[in-house]
Amino acid sequence: MSIHNRYDVIIIGGGPIGLACGIKAQDAGLSFLILEKGCLANSLYNYPQTMTFFSTSERLEIGGVPFATILPKPKRAEALEYYRRVQEKFALPIQLFEEVLSAEKDGDEFKVKTSKRTYLAKKVIVATGFYDVPCLMNIPGENLAKVRHYYEDPHYYANQNVVVVGASNSSVDAALETFRKGAKVTMVVRGDAISDRVKYWVKPDVENRLKAGEITAHFNSILTAIREDDVDIQLPNGKTISIANDFVLALTGYQPNLAFLKKLHIQLSDDTALIPQYDPKTMETNVPGLYLAGVVCGGMNTHLWFIENSRVHADQIIQHITTGNT
């Protein structure tokens, strides 16, 4: 692939939706380049290794390429294989391990600075997702090496005292898997129950493990301090207990890189949702020529957008770029 420094469109982010935008730009005959700071489909690569999508495979398809899987819901490894094959099939130009640092308007064009070089582009699409910035608990000890905001594989935690913070899909998967590899698991949950958003076939499993006393859960409770050998948990009655602990899996959610969006001069809503400003018909932001695509659109409401319902952004954006219409 030859690299130029001037393009019709630069797409920031080589996840499913960045790739979908690339396919549509290619269909429209635009010159374009995808810039990805990590590996191809970097967010998916960093998902738990055994993760199963809640979507059925056809809902994750892009570019009309069938996503064939044996079971209805694909595993992480199948999705990685699929998106890699899609990128290969369309020969989508992509620069990996090249982070975009800024995109400043310079006359009619954007000057896009990366960790490696500078490009010029008439339009820029921001498809940067929400998986790079974990939501922190901001408690003492959170910076210890034993605290993980990403969970990879259960075997690492065999015979260990593990605290899992949260009761969403990621937390429940981690609690069940590490329990089944011999960890002593304690869940610390701010709410009063396992989240209703937990995959419907997983929820009864964790609830039954709690009922059987195989996994302990403290509901309406918060983790207040982490030390090398133990942690403090504040219970609903206001009392604090300390329990022995080797690892904390703080799977408390993720948020888009809001500092990056601000640097691009994208306005955020002034409520706690911090939703970036864009026209829902065209996906153009308050910065003319700068578009948003994919799950980054939800701001702090990361449950609003998925691959399933945001792959359509690619059509909307490229249609607006090529015709000025929606």
Asked if residue 177 binds ligand FAD (CB under 6 A), the reply is no
Structure tokens at 29: 């005959």
**CB nearer to ligand FAD: pick between 179 and 254:** 254
Pick the closer one to ligand FAD by CB: 61 or 232.
61
Of the candidate spans 9-17, 84-92, 116-124, 188-196, the one that interacts with ligand FAD by CB under 6 A turns out to be 9-17
Helical pair 313-323 and 16-27, crossing angle rounded to 10 deg? 30
Nearer to ligand FAD, 142 or 308 (CB): 308
Q: Which of residues 223-282 bind ligand FAD (CB under 6 A)?
A: 257, 260
Could you say whether residue 93 binds ligand FAD (CB under 6 A)?
no
What residues from 43 to 72 belong to the interface with ligand FAD (CB under 6 A)? 43-44, 47, 51, 53-55
Among the residue ranges 145-153, 269-277, 282-290, 303-311, the one whose residues contact ligand FAD (CB under 6 A): 303-311
**Contacting ligand FAD (CB under 6 A), which of 7, 9, 13, 321?**
13
State phi, psi for 91 to the nearest 5 degrees: 50, 50
Work out whether 12 is an interface residue with ligand FAD (CB under 6 A).
yes
* Residues making up the chain, counted from first to last: 326
Give the β-pairing of 222-226 and 118-126.
unpaired
Residue 90 binding ligand FAD, by CB under 6 A: no
95 lies in the binding site for ligand FAD (CB under 6 A): no
d(CA 155, CA 50): 11
Q: Which residue from 15, 22, 166, 276 is in contact with ligand FAD, where contact means CB under 6 A?
A: 15
Asked if residues 102 and 263 have their Cβ atoms less than 8 Å apart, the reply is yes
How near is the Cβ of 248 to ligand FAD at its closest, in Å? Answer: 18
Report the residue number, 226 or 314, with the smaller CB distance to ligand FAD: 314
Q: Is 129 in the site for ligand FAD (CB under 6 A)?
A: yes
Cβ-proximal residues to 323 (8 Å cutoff; 6+ apart), any chain: none
Cβ 16 to ligand FAD shortest distance, Å: 5
Which part of the chain contacts ligand FAD (CB under 6 A), choosing from 7-15, 268-276, 277-285, 316-324? Answer: 7-15
- Residues 64, 76: Cα–Cα separation, whole Å: 20
Closest to ligand FAD by CB, 171 or 186: 171
Quick check: 154 binds ligand FAD (CB under 6 A)?
Answer: no
Question: Of the two residues 16 and 289, which places its CB atom closer to ligand FAD in the complex?
Answer: 16
294, 300, 317, 318: which one binds ligand FAD (CB under 6 A): 294
Q: Which residues bind ligand FAD (CB under 6 A)?
A: 12-18, 35-38, 42-44, 47, 51, 53-55, 99-100, 127-129, 131-132, 170, 257, 260, 294-295, 306-308, 310
